[in-house]
Structure 1
Amino acid sequence: MAIAFTFPGQGSQTVGMGKDLADAFPEARAVFDEVDDALGEKLSATMWDGPEDKLTLTANAQPALMAVSMAAIRAMEARSFDMKAKVAYVAGHSLGEYSALCAAGMFSIADTARLLRIRGNAMQAAVPVGEGAMAAIIGLEQDVVQAVCDEASAKGACQIANDNGGGQLVISGAKAAVEEAARIASEKGAKRALMLPVSAPFHSALMAPAADAMREALATVEKNAPVVPVIANVTVSPLTDPDEIARRLVEQVTGQVRWRETVEWFAANGVSTLYEVGTGKVLSGLARRIDRDLASQTINTPQDVEAALAALA
């Protein structure tokens, strides 16, 4: 049975992330140095020492999460791990799709760091603070949440941003519309309708200026065919053509992260084990809720790296 590598999205960041990898593996430390050089600042110092509010800024959290994922990948590759030989597919949750593509060789580490800095800044700048919002809707089917968004759209943009599985959907858009959608969802029987502490309405139509910025940035960066297919967030299909992948990355800025369908696609296409590469265990938890028959492992610590190398030998 096949293996897939998945890469976490924003929200998994934590102060101290990646420090044990850097201490254990010189190849991992080299990744953090490369990211620091690409961004012209010591992002690694923020990652390891904080402050937390600086790390959680979108423009910092996105390249930081990628750096930890790639530190684990480079540590494995230095010990004879061959992505193409061992992994059937890669996928990432939102910004994690860039980490997945970097791991598969489509982008260099330096270019990925710069792309994610551009993406983070552009997403933050797209909507003035306080005008957008996101909310988690727990316990309603997707078609019901879609109807809720449609009704609330009378007050502004409102759409499903993430389908995370396990009955968890995240909606995004104009603050008044999202608040109205949360109210309607509660009336329709949602177990919870929780406004999220985010700085912008990610994966909504309001992110159109950020999509334009990413279209421009992706047009100029060097792109190679990934050594394994990526399951794109917006299409839930395996892609290998760099130009198509770039178009889908642009669509992803305003489009839905279809993570439940991605995990279901893995299960339906011969994948037996998912490895979550990078900080945290969010995707592993989601996978267990979506399909209990899929095994989930994390690659986050030096011990995880050694365990994965042994299992995949």
Structure 2
Amino acid sequence: MDLTASAGTTRLNTKAVAAATVSVLLWASSFVAIRSATEHYGPGSLALGRLAVGSVALLAIWAVRGEGLPPRASWPGIALCGLLWFGLYMLALNWGEQKVDAGTAAMLVNIGPLVIALLGGWLLREGFPRRLMIGMAVSFAGAVVVGLSKSGGSGASYLGVLLCLLAALLYAAGVVAQKPALRHATPLQVTAFSCLIGTVVCLPFGGQLTGQLAHAPAWATLDLVYLGLFPTALAFSTWAYALSRTTAGRMGATTYAVPALVVLMSWAVLGEVPAVLTLLGGCLCLGGVALSRRP
């Protein structure tokens, strides 16, 4: 009996790890695609276009599978996740990536797992262990170093740093809101309707999107469609699947690899490499996160 349970758990863990790996790889690519697309699409129009494409794909799969509407108990979490992570997060990240390179954005956004731990200590009464507070101090120091690395640049760089930090807060809050919803609804239901809510949040940018679609080159529009189908529809679905099988804190830790992948991808595709001081600050940010999550 124990052996059977252990084997079942192992299979579930393997599936969850595989799903999380898909999310990490696709989200890493999204930082590069966003940086590329923002040459021709504004932050709001890019977010709306990405979310609209993702919503159409997700709702089509939802309709084919016939899963029905999410249970009532799941809607508060879905609504918060849709507003914070799908809507406002994407606006903040797109705007931030207009100001800083993709690698810098990824390093700053990925202090999110530390924020998840802080929110867990506050909202879920999990406490604030000493390692968490030390990790927070180290990550804060890293963010300061990244800011200092931009001191020779324009005020836009500082704004970009702040927007990426805001995106990290929104991402963390979205994950914390999503986890309770997954206790009542399926990963597909949570992802599809969160994405739909995010699309509604971004509807004020509809006119801008229409105008920019008419003038943007085909490669920029392909970036937008790619973002909607893969880093949104697919990656958020695999994330929700994995999150439904583990804790928010452990899932947040899986994104540690994203910044390194983004730096490599942005160097290969965009020819962008963060400055040495920026890389040092980013390593401090991620080091603080790793320290805070030590058992």
Scaled by the length of structure 2, the TM-score of the pair is 0.33
Higher-strand-fraction structure: 1
Judging by fraction of residues, say which structure has more helix. Answer: 2
Q: Which has the higher contact order (CA 8 A, sep 6+)?
A: 2
